Structure 1
Amino acid sequence: MRTYRIGGALAEASRTAAFGVVGGSYLVAGLGAALTWQLAGSQHPLTSALYADLVATLLVFAASMVLANASVYDPYWSVAPPLVLVGWIVATEDGIALRQFLVTALVTVWALRLTANWARGWSGLRHEDWRYRQLRAQTRGRLPWWLVNLAGIQLMPTLVVFAGLLSGWPAVAGNRAFGPLDVLAVLVTVAAIGLEAVADGQLRRFAADPANRGRICDRGLWRYSRHPNYLGEIAFWWGLWLFGLAADPTWWWTVIGPLTVLTLFVGATIPLMERRSVDRRPGYAAHRREVPMLLPRPPVRRRIPD
């Protein structure tokens, strides 16, 4: 196909050029989302944001097909949320300014760190996530790749993140006075961002040491949880829900957002990562018995034979 020839040619582009191509693709997606938002201006801000989010996803999907690289979508998880929140703040005439500032600031910090973490590990257009390559191989001959890419890799995460963001609307539009639940929301969200950042940094330093090749990371936070970075990501969305609950308790039902994120990680992301680790790292099965999947506990002491 012509798209794959284009993607193959660009795969050899420099890392800087690759970021330029992806940045240009996201700029086009952003313009498409902004236009959609304007055209849907008579709708509720939640509906307008959903339409804009879907249009942006479709445009990023188109770019991923032209470039023959599904990982073009990867930063979308963290790029979209702060933009949606800003749109909602502009659209509302209510809300508590302090809460709006804190929610937007924390989501922006989370987004910048997560996007930077992706950029640090992305080597260019020749780099595609191993999970996508595996999915392509597993579905080849059974389903068209464009459908797998759109539905499984791009559209599904967009809807999961949007579900997580539902509580962001009452968080910025609700006018209940700033109170203790907001303080708890700040503490949970800051702790979640910090946990994820520290865990990612520890894993990056561990993997960078050639002496650790093929070994299991069981240092620092990874000694107490097999996936402390994912625990931080899950906790972040619970923090956002607490902000929404503090601002307007009638929106309690937006708890479906963090529950959806939790289901994604526990039901799909973590099992896939763990199956790969079992296959590639000797001793990982024993590691699973000794270290909990998410919630930390004191490490199990290995019994020393007499």
Structure 2
Amino acid sequence: MSRVASLVRVLIAYVLAFSLLAAWMGWGPRTGMLWVDGLIADLLATLVVFAASRRYGNSSFYDPYWSVLPPALAIAWWIRSDTPVDDTRAWIVLLVIVVWAIRLTGNWIHTFPNLSHEDWRYPMLREQAGRFEFVVDLMAIHVIPTLQVFAGMLPVYVVLTRGGRELGWLDVVALVVGLAAVALEFASDLQMHRFAAAKEPGQVMDRGLWAWSRHPNYFGEFSFWVALALFGVAAAPGEWWWMFAGALLMLAMFQGASIPMMEQRSLERRPAYQEVVDRVPRFVPRPPRNRTR
């Protein structure tokens, strides 16, 4: 299947998924709690994408969901909210989310060859699950990431449904952190793409931002979710104690699953990567240790 034909099929699945999300938020039964309405709509859209993943035997159908859901959910919450909020803060939060979503979705489109390609982690997880592969595909690859993103979006829900707090210095901090996070992700992915296009067999990436962190893209992603939490604290300081829960879930996923899997694969395919592990910080960018001689 060609790249264009593959992208068209993904687009159709997402049009159906987000049409269902919009219909549920607009005309579906009300629970009396707007955040719960959003969660139900989010899960219904996820099931549509899951159905497409099963139809084409490719769980990478879900990959762009991570980046296209947040702006759609934020807009739906803002439209449905009946509480007067600070429009300036709301617009700033939406700006950060949209810039992040365009960057991340654009990167996915750039790296997506066609539906013959699937993220290497997905078949590995399904194979390890054996007869429970359907459950693992549904929950581990689709539903759990949806819940993680939803948790990360809850501070945005606060911004869009709480009134009374004027724009302040913390909003400026959150804006700077959010845009810097997007810039860091963009730069690190661009450097990796250029390296991958020119590298020799077995060569490892240890230049640019990747000389200061083995996973600068993940650090940028985590920083984005921290920025959303900061916006939530700015809107409702009294609820600061739970605002960072979503960002911490992201950190746990990166540190406990994504990074270990990526590093193990790199070590298996490129033994020279061990020297990078010994020298370059794992996550937070900082100067590397000197090369051993």
TM range (shorter): over 0.9
Aligned residues of 1:170 and 1:251 also touching (Cα < 8 A):
no
The TM-score with structure 1 as length reference comes to 0.91
Correspondence for 1:31: 19
Correspondence for 2:207: 219
Q: Quick one: which of 114, 119, 126 aligns to 2:116?
A: 126
Aligned residues of 2:66 and 2:149 also touching (Cα < 8 A):
yes
Give a deviation string over 1:32-56, Cα, whole Å, max 9, x none: 2122222133532111100000000
The one-letter amino acid of 2:48's match is L
Correspondence for 2:153: 165
How far did residue 289 of structure 1 move? 1.5
Confirm or deny that 1:63 pairs with 2:52. Answer: yes
Q: Distance in 1 between matches of 2:119 and 2:292?
A: 38
Correspondence for 1:206: 195
The one-letter amino acid of 2:160's match is V
Confirm or deny that 1:275 pairs with 2:283. Answer: no
Correspondence for 2:167: 178
Aligned residues of 1:96 and 1:173 also touching (Cα < 8 A):
no
Q: Quick one: which of 253, 263, 271 aligns to 1:264?
A: 253
Correspondence for 2:87: 97
Give a deviation string over 1:12-44, Cα, whole Å, max 9, x none: x21111111111111111122122222133532
CA-atom RMSD, angstroms? 1.2
Q: Distance in 2 between matches of 1:137 and 1:300?
A: 38
Give a deviation string over 1:240-287, Cα, whole Å, max 9, x none: 000010011133212211111111111111011011011111122221
Q: Distance in 2 between matches of 1:162 and 1:107?
A: 13
Confirm or deny that 1:78 pairs with 2:67. Answer: yes
The one-letter amino acid of 2:195's match is F
Correspondence for 2:9: 21
Q: Distance in 2 between matches of 1:223 and 1:269?
A: 19
Q: Distance in 1 between matches of 2:169 and 2:143?
A: 36
Q: Distance in 2 between matches of 1:227 and 1:204?
A: 14
How far did residue 302 of structure 1 move? 1.8
Runs of 5+ in structure 2 lacking a partner? Answer: none
Correspondence for 1:194: 183
Moved more, 90-99 or 51-60: 90-99
Correspondence for 1:147: 135
Q: Distance in 2 between matches of 1:43 and 1:149?
A: 32
The TM-score with structure 2 as length reference comes to 0.95
How far did residue 67 of structure 1 move? 0.9
Runs of 5+ in structure 1 lacking a partner? Answer: 1-12
The one-letter amino acid of 2:2's match is S
Moved more, 85-94 or 61-70: 85-94
Q: Distance in 1 between matches of 2:75 and 2:264?
A: 39
Aligned residues of 2:156 and 2:231 also touching (Cα < 8 A):
yes
Aligned residues of 2:202 and 2:272 also touching (Cα < 8 A):
no
How far did residue 114 of structure 1 move? 0.4
The one-letter amino acid of 1:205's match is R
Give a deviation string over 1:88-138, Cα, whole Å, max 9, x none: 111223211111111001101101110111111111111111111222222
Q: Distance in 1 between matches of 2:30 and 2:129?
A: 40
Aligned residues of 1:170 and 1:247 also touching (Cα < 8 A):
yes
**Percent identity of equivalent pairs:** 44
Q: Distance in 2 between matches of 1:128 and 1:168?
A: 31
Correspondence for 2:278: 289
Correspondence for 1:54: 43
Q: Match of 2:15, SS?
A: helix
Aligned residues of 2:22 and 2:76 also touching (Cα < 8 A):
no
Moved more, 118-127 or 237-246: 118-127
The one-letter amino acid of 2:63's match is D
Give a deviation string over 1:39-81, Cα, whole Å, max 9, x none: 1335321111000000000111011101111100110000100
